[in-house]
Amino acid sequence: MTTLAVRDLHVAVHSDDEHKEILRGVNLTIRSGEVHAIMGPNGTGKSTLSETIMGNPNYEVRSGDITLDGTSILDWSVDQRARAGLFLAMQYPPAIAGITNAEFIRAAVNSRRGDDDQVPVVQFLQDLDANLAKLKMPEDMADRYLNAGFSGGEKKKNEILQLLMIKPALAILDEIDSGLDIDALRIVAAGVNSMRSANFASLIITHYQRLLNYIVPDVVHVMKDGRIIESGGPELAKSLEHTGYEQLSEADNG
Ligand SMILES: Nc1ncnc2c1ncn2[C@@H]1O[C@H](COP(=O)(O)OP(=O)(O)OP(=O)(O)O)[C@@H](O)[C@H]1O
């Protein structure tokens, strides 16, 4: 069982000429078995939160804490966080020439499993083929360089392929629905839903209620101006579709 807690988190971003505070006191607790969604206007800090949880050094934690099962992870490297079970499906996954998709995924799977428990090659390939089929991805996508020349939708599916292979304890999915056609959206959502269990937690960042019709979250949060200003059940996402974000104010922040 895993509990990720974010406590009064203030984060600034390193840019050339300024140190702008993007997150201004975020509080969030996600436990195994739960799926949380974060919605909110553009530029409000959703990706900043996900990158900070994963340990991207471009984001500077000014104050507050992020804990995994009660232990602060602020000093942990990205690698340590990944080995502890955190996973980020990125909004803009980078392409890496020279490393095939299969090599990358195998290295990630083995890193998560540890030196004493490396995945046997045959088992890895069987698992990979099964998950490629599940996501309706052509088999040759495993042998292509990571994300090189992948379409927008293929990149998103590939992030979910990694999710299914690595089997993290807590997955942050940053706009995995953007750029997906309707069929791909269903396939990706089914892939995520197949991971749902008492041992898996997820934080889903999305702009669209539509994704949440397929992956029904336990909790929906609204982030605005670097804070979570409202939390509720799946019905909150539905009402936002009608009302938008304008009427929500920071005064609602608990
Ligand atoms: N590396 C960076 N350099 C400069 N500004 C940055 C950087 N990263 C993020 N920001 C700024 O921080 C703010 C929050 O960005 P972030 O990507 O977290 O928002 P978001 O809520 O995920 O937005 P969207 O819904 O549009 O994806 C934005 O104003 C963005 O321009």
CA of 231 to the centre of ligand 1 (A): 22
CA of 199 to the centre of ligand 1 (A): 31
Whether the CB of 53 sits within 6 Å of ligand 1: no
Which residue in 56, 162, 65, 158 sits closest to 112, CA to CA?
Answer: 162
174-227 pLDDT per residue, tens = 999 988 999 999 999 999 999 999 999 999 999 989 999 999 999 999 999 999
Other residues' Cβ atoms within 10 Å of the Cβ of residue 204? 24
pTM summary value:
0.93
Whether the CB of 48 sits within 6 Å of ligand 1: yes
For residue 254, the model assigns a pLDDT of 42
The pair phi, psi for residue 76, each rounded to 5°, is -80, 145
240, 247 Cβ separation under 8 angstroms: no
Q: What is the CATH number of domain 3-252?
A: 3.40.50.300
Pairwise CA distance, residues 184 & 69, whole Å? 34
Whether the CB of 19 sits within 6 Å of ligand 1: no
Q: Which residue has the tokens 């898996």?
A: 200
Q: Which residue has the tokens 């050094």?
A: 57
103, 162 Cβ separation under 8 angstroms: no
* Kind of pairing between the strands at 201-205 and 35-39: parallel
CA of 48 to the centre of ligand 1 (A): 6
Other residues' Cβ atoms within 10 Å of the Cβ of residue 244? 10
| DSSP letter assigned to residue 178 | T
For residue 14, the model assigns a pLDDT of 76
**For residue 41, which atom of ligand 1 is closest to its CA?**
25
160, 183 Cβ separation under 8 angstroms: no
For residue 91, the model assigns a pLDDT of 83
The pair phi, psi for residue 70, each rounded to 5°, is 90, -10
For residue 223, the model assigns a pLDDT of 97
- Residues in a beta bridge with 89: 173
Pairwise CA distance, residues 122 & 210, whole Å? 38
| DSSP letter assigned to residue 176 | T
Structure tokens given for 36: 């949380």
The pair phi, psi for residue 13, each rounded to 5°, is -105, 140
CA of 10 to the centre of ligand 1 (A): 14
Give the ipTM: 0.95
Other residues' Cβ atoms within 10 Å of the Cβ of residue 138? 10
Residue boundaries of the structural domains of the chain:
3-252
Whether the CB of 199 sits within 6 Å of ligand 1: no
